[in-house]
Structures are given as structure tokens and as C-alpha cells.
Chain A
Amino acid sequence: MISVKRISKTYDEQVLKDVSLDIPGGKTVSLIGPSGCGKSTLLRIIMGLIDADSGRVLIKEQQLTAQNVLSLRRQMGYVIQSGGLFPHLTARENLTLVTGFLGWEGNRETERINELCELTNIAPSDLDRQPDGLSGGQAQRISLMRALMLDPDIILLDEPLGSIDPLVRYELQRDLKGIFKKLRKTVLLVTHDLGEAAYLGDQIALMKSGTIIQKGTINDIVSNPADSFVEQFVNAQRSPLEDV
């Protein structure tokens, strides 16, 4: 569904080195790694928000180009850490910005919004608020609704729960997993939390310094670490009972 072929990108230093990655349809891949490893950059390149220096991105067998980038973006949902909701619009206006552009009729919009409210567990009355009147968890749910408005096959999430407090995060992780499976979406999730990566992802791709050093299930990674860095990364997760 998503195929990344030999992508390289250099800013001041090289952030992506010849990265290739395939995400089969209906699967969730968690992209994990330390800060600055290039995982967010890779996500932006797939979304066509920045151009790679070399390499290709194929979305549903189509190569991403300047000509088809707008239509391909509409086939992918995108959720970022802070939600990225437009502060001058109400939650509902955030949802209908793109459908309005595409000329959807009011009925169709309302119907879709109601479906998504149910799916993401949002009360329709919350949609009349401005983003600054929403809690962090609500904002992320509405951000997800916005990403799902056009019912894309692909969802890209960049640390979507990074700034959500633990209780809400726990709940959201559960809901996300349910939604992804129910809708059979192809998902690429960027996170730095191994637990979240393992819980949500069918597969985990572990990145370090611009390369994917291991890709597999959580069991593969834990039982068969590719190198000492992977081992360290796996062991760096703290159990709450560790020091008790």
C-alpha cells in the first residue's frame, strides 16, 4: 500500500540514508527510534510535505509527484502530536474544511461527522467549540476525525499521543487500535514509546541515525535484536515495579 524506495534526505547533515520500507495494506507499522533518528522526516516525505533528495515514494502503486500530490494527500489521513487543529475555526469547521473545498453537500457532511463521532467517541455538541476549548484528548480525537473525513485507506500519525496524560493516553491507544482494525486502515505510526509501538503495530520498524536497523514483530525485536543498540533500546523501558 505504501512503498518507500531508497529515500535519502540531507539538511545540514544527512537525516535519511537510503531508507526503504514497505507497508502492506490493512497493517499497522510502528516507526520507532530516538529523537532525531529521521522518523518524522520519513513520514513527511511520504505525505509529500517535503521532497526527498533521492528515492521514490509509491502510494497505492502510484509514484508521488508534484502533479498528484494533492489528490494523494487526500487519500491519506495525517495526525500530528499537537493535533494541528486550526484555532480560528470550530471543531466542526476543522472537519468540514476539506469537504467544503471538495463541494460535499451539507447532508453528506453531517452524516459523515455523525459516523465519526460515534467511532471516535466524541459528543456532537463538542464540535461547536474552538480548539482551545477542548481537552488534549478531545483535540486528538477530533484531529483523527479530520484525518478520517474522506475515508482514506492510509493513516499517518506523528506521535499522536505524545502530549496526552497517561490515563487518557491509555484509553486513546485502545480506541485507536479498535478503529484501525475495524476500518482495516493501512497505518504508519511514529512514536518513541516501545509499549505503544508494540500495542498498536503489527510490525515495528526501529530507526537510528537515518536508517531502519530492524523491522519485525515485537517478539522478533525482543528475542532477536539486530545489534546492541536495539538491545539497549528494548531494555531502556522502565517497568513501574522495577525499584520496588
Chain B
Amino acid sequence: MHSEVRWRMCEMKTSAAPALTFLLLSFLLGNVCEARQQEPVRAGTKVFTESVVLGELVTQSIQSDGRQAELIKQLGGTQILWNALLDGEIDVYPEYTGTITEEILAGSEIGSIAELDSVLATYGIEMTRPLGFNNTYAIGMKEEVAAERGIRTITDLRNHPGLSYGFSNEFMDRSDGWPGLRQAAGLSPEDVRGLDHDLAYRGLEAGNIQVIDLYSTDPEIEYYDLRVLEDDLGYFPEYEAVYLYRRGLDKNVVESIRRFEGAISRSEMVRMNAAVKIDREGDAVVASRFLADTFGIDSEVYEEGLWDRLLRHTIDHLYLVGISLGLAILFAIPLGVLAVKVKSIETPLLGAVGILQTVPSLALLVFMIPLFGIGAFPAIAALFLYSLLPIVRNTHSGIKSIAGPLMESARALGLPNTFILRRVELPLAVPSILAGIKTSAVINVGTATLGALIGAGGYGQPILTGIRLDSVPLILEGAIPAAVLALLVQGFFDLIEKWISK
């Protein structure tokens, strides 16, 4: 439940230093793919539902105006989307003004929308006017409780110190969360506790607590029939939804994007979020209905069946695993041999591939983005690096463990080293090398699911969507095939091992 909240939290905590490095690197590497004229317009989204719905909206809007467009859902967090936009990997994505000023352009003092426009312009990025809703922190109560007590605004709470407050732990801790709000609004409730957000909703329903924190477009607002208290102090920062797009898009594409300015109210966004998250309708369907209702646009929505999806994810996944593993084998075996033959690089080389393995896989994926952008390529690069260690190490140890007398016999025959390597050492190390490849392959199949985080597709895609929608069947749609594939890979190598040792 409520994974969006967690995602937003993570995003906001990203510090400025890596962000700047990212900006720099991507700026240097950017501008390469400037000229793509009649290629499809590419939209990206973050990993939470609202972003995906906004992505569907803009994609379908562009398509309905006769231009090809594709959507890369759940591409990643703010930095990934922003850099993808700068690099021209995507042309448009939904963002929030607060995120732009606080995170993307952190450090620059921006007072007005006009200033924001001009700063973005220096990056070659343009921004729509606000779409009509503000997705910021908010304070919520059950509608009936609030109505009963006549509470409409946050300052109204001053007169009701007897209410119980249940805030998410993050909100309790953040200085711009409860500590600041308490001071600014002069609130002194008797009962405030920090708890898990899901429990907060349940407590609200049971009547144990009456006041909670939320995001102002959370679908639960509709589901639990909550009243969002008006921020009459203007305490919470503005998170107006907008679209960011690259300068130089066709005029009619820009029109298709700007059509949403002021067109989506908060309650409409809440309803769409609820339709996806609570009623389990498809993102595309929900977006299509909004377009029809609001603009009278008929957009074609193609709902892929389970088997089609499974096939697509399998192909994507095998592509990631196959290429990265193949390359790893091609490079790792010579590296392992080198580690045996060249004494001076043995320790540094084994150390280096060992260190690669200790880099968390998620981090390694993200490191690849400034170098290779988004999509399958950076994922393959990361998986490649990740697959090296077991193969290098097993090649090295497989050759090293060949009995001394055997090596002596080979040398005593008067054969040159390269011949001995090819005909004696490598064949004798095959079982060990194969075991290394097996380990790499199994790890690779699992790790490749993370590739979906940077738009590489594969079995991670349904898992990611499943987490976003809190849908176990969707998570299993990725997890089960990934597990089966890992077992198949393992079985395949077991068979080869058996066949070789015959």
C-alpha cells in the first residue's frame, strides 16, 4: 500500500551533489540525439501510479492528434527522468513544480513560474502551465468527522486538541513535516503518534485516530471518503503537476501536451488514481476515459493479454540475460587466464572484479545511466559487469587447481604455453568454468529483473507495476517466470555438466 509515498520520500531525500554530477555528465553526453524528426514522441513516467496515468494521458493525446508516440512506464525516479529528458531519450514527462525547484534545480533561488521557465530554458527544457492540481502533503480527516466538528482548514484544528493524530514516520521526522507544521499552525494536540501509513488508514476507519497526513491526490482520499483540510497557512510547498518537454518538439505535439494545462482538477486526479489503484482498472483505460470525457477524444486503447505480455517480457528478459552473459563469458575467461599467467595483475584483477560484485546491483544500474542512457543497453552493461566475477574467479581457480605433476608432464612434452593452455589447462578447467558460468547466469536472471527500473523491460516490468498497484498477481506475473527461468538455466547447465563429465 501507498508505495507512492515511499517513492516520493526517496526522491526528495536525494542530495544535491550526485544530482549535479548527473547533470554535468548527462549534459556532456547529451545533445547527441538532437535531430529525430518523424520518430515517435517518447514519454516517460516515474514509478508511481499518478505519474503513469499522466504519462498515458499525454501519450494518448499525442497519438490522437495523428503523431506516433510511445510510453516508457516506470522508468525511474526524478534524476533518471530528468537526465533522460536532457539526453533526448524521452521527449516529455510529468513532473511537479516543487520537485523541480527543490530537487532538480536545488540551490537556485526561484520565486516565480516565469523564473522557473527561464532557468529550464537554459537546459533546453520547456514546461507547461500547471495542469490544475497540487500533489503536496496534506492533512486529512474522515469527511463525516470533519463535517460534524466543522473543521475545514488546518488552523481549524487548533480548537480541537482532543483529536488523535496518526502520522507516517517520515512525516513525523521531517522538519518540514509535523515539527514545522505544529509550530506554524500553533497546534498542541494531546495524542500524536507515528505509525505505518497503512495502519493510519485502518486506525482512521476504526475511529482510533482522526487526523492523518497524506498526499493530496492519494486514491485513498476517495476510497475512505476523506476531507483534505485546506492549507490556509500555505505551509506545505507547492507541488503543481506540469509536463516537462524538450524544446524543439513539433508545434502540434506541443499543443497535444499543453491541452492539459488547467484541465485536471485535484478531485479528478484522485478519482483516476483510485480507478487504477483501488478499482484495478488499467492505466491506459482510465486515461482514455478522461480524454473522452474531458476533450471528447477517442483514443484507441490496446490491452495486451496475459500471454502476449508474458512473451514480450520473456523475450526482453532473455535478451538482457543472453547478451550480458555472452559478453561476460567472452571477456571473463581470458581475464581469468590472464590472472593465472601474469603474476603482477593476479591480485589487482581479482580484487577489481570482486569489488564490482560488492556494488549493490541497483546502484550499478544507476551508474550506467550517465554513460549509456536508459533502456536495455545500460542494463546489459551493468549485468555484464555483474556476471564477470564468478566466471573470472572460477577460470582462475580451475586452472590453478590443476595438479602440479600434470602441468609438469605437459611442459615436459616440449609443447608451447599457448598450446598447453588450449589443450590441457582450459579443458581441465572446464567443469570449474562451467560452474562459474552457471552461477553468473542464475544471478543474472534474478538481477535482470531490476533492469525494468531503467526502462530495460523484462520480468521486472510486471513486478514493478505490481508493486505500484499493490497487486500480488502482477508481481507473480514477473516473479514466477523469473524463478522458473533461473531454475531452467540451472538445469540446463547441470545437464551440460553431466554431459561433459561423462
User: Cα distance A101–B411 when bound, in Å?
Assistant: 13
CB < 8 Å: which of A70, A81, A86, A87 contacts B416?
A70
CB < 8 Å: which of B406, B408, B412, B415 contacts A101?
B415
Number of interface residues of A (CB under 8 A): 22
Chain A 67-85 interface mask (CB, 8 Å, partner B; 1/0) = 0001111101010111011
Asked if B409 is an interface residue, CB under 8 A from chain A, the answer is yes
Closest to A73 in B: B414
Closest to B419 in A: A101
User: Cα distance A96–B412 when bound, in Å?
Assistant: 14
Cβ–Cβ contact A73 & B411, under 8 A: yes
CB < 8 Å: which of B409, B416, B419, B430 contacts A80?
B409
Asked if B424 is an interface residue, CB under 8 A from chain A, the answer is yes
Are A98 and B413 also in contact (CB < 8 A) when A84-B406, A84-B408, A86-B406 are? yes
Asked if A108 is an interface residue, CB under 8 A from chain B, the answer is no
Tell me how far the C-beta of A113 lies from the nearest C-beta in chain B, rounded to whole angstroms.
Answer: 16
Q: Name the prevailing secondary structure of the B interface residues.
A: helix
CB < 8 Å: which of B411, B415, B424, B430 contacts A49?
B411
Asked if A88 is an interface residue, CB under 8 A from chain B, the answer is yes
Cβ–Cβ contact B414 & A86, under 8 A: no
Tell me how far the C-beta of A37 lies from the nearest C-beta in chain B, rounded to whole angstroms.
Answer: 19
Q: For residue A6, which residues in chain B have a CB less than 8 angstroms away from its CB? A: none
Asked if A47 is an interface residue, CB under 8 A from chain B, the answer is yes
Q: For residue B412, which residues in chain A have a CB less than 8 angstroms away from its CB? A: 47, 49, 73, 76, 78, 84
Asked if B29 is an interface residue, CB under 8 A from chain A, the answer is no
B residues 419-440 in Cβ contact with A at 8 Å: 419, 423-424, 427-428, 430
User: Cα distance A44–B413 when bound, in Å?
Assistant: 13
Are A44 and B414 also in contact (CB < 8 A) when A86-B424, A87-B428 are? no
User: Cα distance A70–B417 when bound, in Å?
Assistant: 10
Cβ–Cβ contact A82 & B413, under 8 A: no
Asked if B305 is an interface residue, CB under 8 A from chain A, the answer is no
Asked if B405 is an interface residue, CB under 8 A from chain A, the answer is yes
Asked if A97 is an interface residue, CB under 8 A from chain B, the answer is yes
Cβ–Cβ contact B406 & A74, under 8 A: no
Chain B 340-359 interface mask (CB, 8 Å, partner A; 1/0) = 00000000000000000000
A residues 78-125 in Cβ contact with B at 8 Å: 78, 80-82, 84-88, 97-98, 101
Tell me how far the C-beta of B405 lies from the nearest C-beta in chain A, rounded to whole angstroms.
Answer: 5
Closest to A75 in B: B414
Asked if B105 is an interface residue, CB under 8 A from chain A, the answer is no
CB < 8 Å: which of B409, B410, B413 contacts A74?
B413
Q: For residue A101, which residues in chain B have a CB less than 8 angstroms away from its CB? A: 415, 419
CB < 8 Å: which of A44, A78, A81, A97 contacts B423?
A97
Cβ–Cβ contact A49 & B413, under 8 A: no
User: Cα distance A66–B414 when bound, in Å?
Assistant: 12
Cβ–Cβ contact A88 & B427, under 8 A: yes
User: Cα distance A85–B428 when bound, in Å?
Assistant: 12
Cβ–Cβ contact B405 & A80, under 8 A: yes
Cβ–Cβ contact A86 & B410, under 8 A: yes
Tell me how far the C-beta of B94 lies from the nearest C-beta in chain A, rounded to whole angstroms.
Answer: 60
Cβ–Cβ contact B428 & A70, under 8 A: no
Are A73 and B413 also in contact (CB < 8 A) when A86-B406, A97-B423, A101-B419 are? yes
A residues 144-182 in Cβ contact with B at 8 Å: 146
A residues 33-70 in Cβ contact with B at 8 Å: 44, 47, 49, 70
Cβ–Cβ contact A82 & B405, under 8 A: yes
Are A74 and B405 also in contact (CB < 8 A) when A87-B428, A88-B427 are? no
Tell me how far the C-beta of A210 lies from the nearest C-beta in chain B, rounded to whole angstroms.
Answer: 21
Cβ–Cβ contact A98 & B414, under 8 A: yes
Q: For residue A71, which residues in chain B have a CB less than 8 angstroms away from its CB? A: 414
Tell me how far the C-beta of A234 lies from the nearest C-beta in chain B, rounded to whole angstroms.
Answer: 30
User: Cα distance A209–B409 when bound, in Å?
Assistant: 26
Q: Choose among B405, B406, B408, B414 the residue with the greatest number of A CB atoms under 10 Å from its CB.
A: B414
Cβ–Cβ contact A74 & B411, under 8 A: no
Closest to B409 in A: A84
Tell me how far the C-beta of A74 lies from the nearest C-beta in chain B, rounded to whole angstroms.
Answer: 4
Tell me how far the C-beta of B412 lies from the nearest C-beta in chain A, rounded to whole angstroms.
Answer: 4
Tell me how far the C-beta of A156 lies from the nearest C-beta in chain B, rounded to whole angstroms.
Answer: 8
Tell me how far the C-beta of A40 lies from the nearest C-beta in chain B, rounded to whole angstroms.
Answer: 10
Cβ–Cβ contact A80 & B413, under 8 A: no
Chain B 386-422 interface mask (CB, 8 Å, partner A; 1/0) = 0000000000000000000110111111111001000
Tell me how far the C-beta of A187 lies from the nearest C-beta in chain B, rounded to whole angstroms.
Answer: 15
Cβ–Cβ contact A74 & B414, under 8 A: yes
Q: For residue B430, which residues in chain A have a CB less than 8 angstroms away from its CB? A: 88
User: Cα distance A81–B408 when bound, in Å?
Assistant: 12
Cβ–Cβ contact B428 & A97, under 8 A: no
Are A88 and B411 also in contact (CB < 8 A) when A80-B405, A97-B423 are? no
Are A80 and B408 also in contact (CB < 8 A) when A70-B414, A74-B414 are? yes
B residues 428-454 in Cβ contact with A at 8 Å: 428, 430
Q: For residue B413, which residues in chain A have a CB less than 8 angstroms away from its CB? A: 73-74, 78, 97-98, 146
Tell me how far the C-beta of B25 lies from the nearest C-beta in chain A, rounded to whole angstroms.
Answer: 49
Tell me how far the C-beta of B337 lies from the nearest C-beta in chain A, rounded to whole angstroms.
Answer: 17
Chain B 170-187 interface mask (CB, 8 Å, partner A; 1/0) = 000000000000000000
Q: Choose among B413, B419, B427 the residue with the greatest number of A CB atoms under 10 Å from its CB.
A: B413
Cβ–Cβ contact B414 & A49, under 8 A: no
User: Cα distance A74–B408 when bound, in Å?
Assistant: 14
User: Cα distance A79–B412 when bound, in Å?
Assistant: 9
Q: Choose among A70, A73, A88 the residue with the greatest number of B CB atoms under 10 Å from its CB.
A: A88
Q: Choose among A72, A85, A98 the residue with the greatest number of B CB atoms under 10 Å from its CB.
A: A98
Closest to A50 in B: B408
User: Cα distance A216–B408 when bound, in Å?
Assistant: 30
Apart from the given pairs A86-B424, A101-B415, 5 other A-B contacts in the complex at a CB distance below 8 Å: A80-B408, A81-B405, A84-B412, A85-B409, A101-B419
**Residues on A facing B (Cβ under 8 Å):** 44, 47, 49, 70-74, 76, 78, 80-82, 84-88, 97-98, 101, 146
9 A–B contacts from the bound complex (CB under 8 Å): A49-B411, A70-B415, A70-B416, A71-B414, A74-B413, A78-B408, A98-B413, A98-B415, A101-B415
**Residues on B facing A (Cβ under 8 Å):** 405-406, 408-416, 419, 423-424, 427-428, 430
- Top 7 A-B residue pairs of the complex, sorted by shortest distance between their CB atoms: A84-B409, A73-B414, A74-B414, A78-B412, A98-B413, A88-B427, A70-B414
